[in-house]
Amino acid sequence: MIGFIIPINLSALNWLLIGLCALLVGMSKTGVPGVSMIVVPTLALIFGGKQSTGVLLPILIMADVFGVIYYHRHAQWKHLLRALPWALAGLILALWVGNQVNDDQFKRLIAIVVFVSVGLMLWKDYGIKREYTPDHWFFAAFLGVMGGFATMIGNVAGPIFAIYLLAMHLNKQSYIGTTAWFFFIINVSKLPLQAFVWNNITWNTLTIDLFVLPAIALGAWLGILLVDKISEANYKWLVVVITVFSAFLIFL
């Protein structure tokens, strides 16, 4: 693992992995779910636990912009606003927890959150049935707090918010549009917290993020192209295996 250093000191392999992560984030924000789960453990292995979240957050925000621009008209605001206040409460809880642990503990916390999120993703896809998913305020509150905590600690709230939206019986376009706006608002809210409380967003990290902006844009374009064509059955298991393996490496 390298230190929190200026971009010029990154190896070619590290730059390649960061660019790939940016590509996957762009794809995930425009409708190809699951692929960005690999990003969190990969960046944590390169930069360390808490520092990696500072590198990733601006990448997520830039990718969120592409998703919001393309799918903004499909957002279902009533569902978004039910969960949003609870998610913000989860952010504050995670902000406090993040200040109580060292980097090794933070990395292990990321790994645990990743494991839970992968489990929820599989449960959503293969376990629960749409008609039996709860749809009341406590459901939104519980998953909102969990999602806020997960996105602040490890930027892996996607599966949690997906379970919430599954209860709302949204079509694909509404699902993507609502998700895009939710994470754009949440990620922008996280920006000052990470910059001024965790102090893990600096000019150095922002320079890294700007360098990979073309990869984010390419990923967003690919996501739009693939959302109606790609078969989830084959790639999802590969994503799960790689993600769990990467999270296991963080946990060691």
Give, in degrees to the nearest 5, the angle at Cα 140 between 76 and 127: 95
The whole-number average pLDDT for the span 37-59 is 90
Question: Of 24-38, 133-147, 206-220, where does the model show the most confidence?
Answer: 206-220
Tokens 């060691």 locate to: 252
**Residue 249: how many other CB atoms lie within 10 Å:** 14
Does 235 or 35 have the greater pLDDT score? 35
Q: Band the pLDDT of 192: cuts 50, 70, 90.
A: very high
Q: Band the pLDDT of 38: cuts 50, 70, 90.
A: confident
Looking at 9-13, 75-79, 159-163, which range is the least confident one? 159-163
Percentage above 70 pLDDT, the chain:
79
Contact (Cβ atoms closer than 8 angstroms) between residue 94 and residue 152: yes
Is pLDDT of 132 > 80? no
Tokens 């749809």 locate to: 135
Residue 110's pLDDT is: 78
Contact (Cβ atoms closer than 8 angstroms) between residue 139 and residue 86: no
Longest dimension (CA), the chain: 52
pLDDT (tens digit per residue) in 223-235? 888 766 656 555 5
**Residue 137: how many other CB atoms lie within 10 Å:** 12
Is pLDDT of 190 > 90? yes
Whole-angstrom CA distances from 145 to 70, 157, 165, 168, 184 are: 27, 10, 15, 18, 17
Q: Where are the domains of the chain?
A: 11-251
pTM for this one? Answer: 0.81
The whole-number average pLDDT for the span 153-182 is 79
Contact (Cβ atoms closer than 8 angstroms) between residue 56 and residue 115: no
Return d(Cα 38, Cα 242) in angstroms, integer: 7
pLDDT (tens digit per residue) in 104-126? 888 788 778 877 877 776 776 66
pLDDT (tens digit per residue) in 52-100? 999 999 999 999 998 898 887 888 888 889 899 999 999 999 999 988 8
Dihedral sign of CA atoms 134, 177, 65, 85 in order: negative
Strands (E), 111-196: none
Dihedral sign of CA atoms 186, 164, 52, 106 in order: positive
Residue 33's pLDDT is: 65
Contact (Cβ atoms closer than 8 angstroms) between residue 165 and residue 78: no
Q: How far is CA 18 from the centre of its chain?
A: 15
In one letter, which amino acid is 220?
Answer: A
